[in-house]
Amino acid sequence: MSMDKKDRGKLVRRIYSDRYVLITLVSFAISISAIRIFLEINGYPQLGGENLHIAHVLWGGLFLFTSSLLPLIFVNKRILDLSAFLSGAGIGLFIDEVGKFITQTNDYFYPAAAPIIYVFFLLTIQIYRMIRKPIKNDLRTNLFHTLEEFEEVLEGDLSDIEKEKIINRMEKTEYAAEGKGLNVLKELLVLFLKDPALPFVEHKPDLFERITNWFSRMQEKIFTQKNFHVKLRLLWVFLGLVLIAQPLFILSGIDEPIDMTGLLRKILDSSLLLSENITIFGLLRIVLQMISGLLLWVCAYFYKNEGSMKWVSFAQLILLIVLSAINSLVFLYDQFSTIIFVIIEFIVFFLTASFLNWRTDTYL
């Protein structure tokens, strides 16, 4: 087969690579949140005896080793889902103990550990966003993806929907410049799939597809509501209120923490940010939070209808800055006590970004 030398050995992204990274990302977030909640509830117990301490970093290493071993042994696609899940859980269990690795005293509660874990999580999100971009539509890439999807044929699980998707992808573009050999292989694969004697089954979405379809239906249902823009503005107002209120509470109790309980404490408390240990980073965190809150209020005020979608874009940018830069400083002082509020921020950002993308796709 003739092939351009520059394409030989060139890495090709898997057709479902975004799916695997998303599973890893979700598994990572769940594992590290679950272990922190479990340890907090149970008073940070230790597994072992007088001389032994079996830290959960060891379980993380075991999960990571298993996740790397499985796809080396098995070729089935579902193994990649399991590998992705174990990878996320393993890295969550591993990086949760980063405080012990960066301090001479093996301090699990070292303040810088929380922002390190959070930044690592954000970098994983960025990887996911990068691989969601469209894959280059050349013959070599399409052949890799077609051969990858031929597992369905070997398992007798090829549906009519999957067959048509493969055929359409292979036939929709001319590949005259790709070389005769690869084109012959393409024609043979398409001819095989078009064989009327080839059995296929009714398409049954797997768990991941069902969740994805459910999200799509929910987005359509939510975003088509006439008053959705009002609800979105109210979310910005609420988030802006908390972003402004938290620094005010901190400044009020800078010398002595204000006594709070329940959910209010989880959202507004910052017991580490006191007068004796406040630094330029603490002051920067307070200023940036208040500015972000005010800017979200500005977006909520000016966003009125479909003609002012630029304010949705601006709100998305503000939320992105909050989630990346500002929250890194928040985690430095508030540690994992701020996780509830961060989850709320991610939900508001997801709704804002999804609505903006949905509106853009609707009018294309």
**Domains in the chain: boundaries:** 17-131, 136-193, 219-362
Q: 3-class DSSP state for residue 205?
A: coil
CA–CA dist 120, 64 (Å, integer)? 16
CA–CA dist 99, 93 (Å, integer)? 13
Q: Note the pLDDT of residue 65.
A: 95
Q: Note the pLDDT of residue 363.
A: 46
Regions of the chain where pLDDT drops below 50: 1, 275, 363-364
CA–CA dist 1, 343 (Å, integer)? 52
Q: Note the pLDDT of residue 354.
A: 86
Token digits of residue 132:
């969601």
**pLDDT tens digits for 288-342?**
999 999 999 999 988 877 667 889 899 999 999 998 888 888 888 777 767 778 8
Asked if 161 and 200 count as a contact pair (C-beta separation under 8 A), the reply is no
In one letter, which amino acid is 353?
A
| pTM higher than the cut 0.75 | yes
**pLDDT tens digits for 160-191?**
888 888 888 887 766 655 567 777 888 888 88
Using left for φ > 0, alpha for ψ between -120 and 50, and beta otherwise, residue 221 falls in alpha
Q: Note the pLDDT of residue 109.
A: 80
In the chain, which ranges are continuous DSSP H helix? 17-41, 56-73, 77-95, 98-101, 113-131, 139-149, 151-154, 160-171, 180-193, 207-223, 228-252, 262-268, 280-302, 310-321, 327-334, 339-362
Exposed (0-12), middle (13-18) or buried (19+): which is 224, by Cβ within 10 Å?
Answer: exposed
CA–CA dist 36, 269 (Å, integer)? 18
